[in-house]
Structure 1
Amino acid sequence: MSTIRIVWGSASAPTAMASYDAALAEAGVENYNLVAVSSVIPADTAVEAVGTAPDLGPAGDRLTVVEARATTTGPGRVSAGLGWSQSADDGPGLFYEAGGETDGEDVETRVREGLESGRALRDWDFTEPRVRVESAQAAAGTYTTAIVLAVYGDGDPIV
């Protein structure tokens, strides 16, 4: 059985890209090339919320991810959220993501509404949804990024 790990982080820095890189470092995936995919969980795949990724391979490897991301300039608040629901009996499932310059409750509501809509499109018997939201306050004069990622497996060599 394969594993998808849910990781998250938030950070502030003097530029938007630097805050994103620092948030990736908090989640343990700053040394990988992220390749975003849409939101389908393959059958026979475990999803584990781990917070910070373990060693997933050499620096520069490619990681397949579903990414919830939001960046703001301070002062303000930023939130990113990722939700998932799998079908019963180890069948496929779905991720939905949302983010913005808002509080975590708003983002969680949008994630849950997205999951409900996606579940309604499929003839699968789903388990209860789970949601992870990361929020952070941005101080004046800084950029702040919040991320939640679903990381599919380990890194793959890119070259």
Structure 2
Amino acid sequence: MSTIRIVWGTASAPTAMASYDAALAEAGVENYNLVAVSSVIPADTTVEAVGTAPDLGPAGDRLTVVEARATTAGPGRVSAGLGWSQSVEDGPGLFYEAAGETDSDDIETRVREGIESGQDLRDWDFSEPRVRVESAQAASGTYTTAVVLAVYGDGEPIV
């Protein structure tokens, strides 16, 4: 059975890209090349909320992810959220992500509405959705990023 890990982080820095890199470092995936996919969980897969990724392979490897990401220049608030629900009996499932310059309650509502809509499109018997939201205040003169990622398996060589 394969594993998808849910990781998250927030960080502030003097540039937008530096804050994103620092948020990825908090999530433990700063040394990988992230490849975004849409939001389907394969059957026979375990989803674990771990916070910070373990060692997933050498620096520079490719990681397949579903990513919720938002960056703002301070002052302001930034939030990112990821929800997931799997069909029962180890069937496939869905992720749904939302992010923006808003509070965590708004993002959680958007994630829950989105995943419910995705469930309605499929003839699967789903488990109750789980949601992870990260939110942070950006101070004046800094950039702040919030990320929540679903990381599929381990890194793979990119070259």
TM-score, reference length from structure 2: 1.00
Aligned position for 2:149: 149
1:21-62 alpha-carbon deviations (Å, 9 max, x no partner): 000000000000000000000000000000000000000000
Distance (Å, rounded) in 1 between the aligned partners of 2:102 and 2:108: 11
1:77 corresponds to 2:77:
yes
* SS at structure 1 position matched to 2:128: coil
Give 1:66 shift.
0.0
Give 1:145 shift.
0.2
Q: Write out the 4+ residue segments of structure 1 that deviate beyond 3 Å after TM superposition.
A: none
Distance (Å, rounded) in 2 between the aligned partners of 1:27 and 1:115: 23
Give 1:7 shift.
0.1
Task: Tell me how many residue pairs correspond in the alignment.
Answer: 159
**Matched letter for residue 142 of structure 1:** T
* SS at structure 2 position matched to 1:24: helix
Aligned position for 1:133: 133
Q: Which runs of 5+ in 2 are unaligned?
A: none
Give 1:67 shift.
0.1
Aligned position for 1:113: 113
- 1:50-89 mapped onto 2 (5 Å cutoff): 50-89=50-89
Distance (Å, rounded) in 2 between the aligned partners of 1:58 and 1:134: 27
Distance (Å, rounded) in 2 between the aligned partners of 1:40 and 1:62: 19
How many percent of aligned residue pairs carry the same amino acid?
Answer: 90
Q: Which runs of 5+ in 1 are unaligned?
A: none
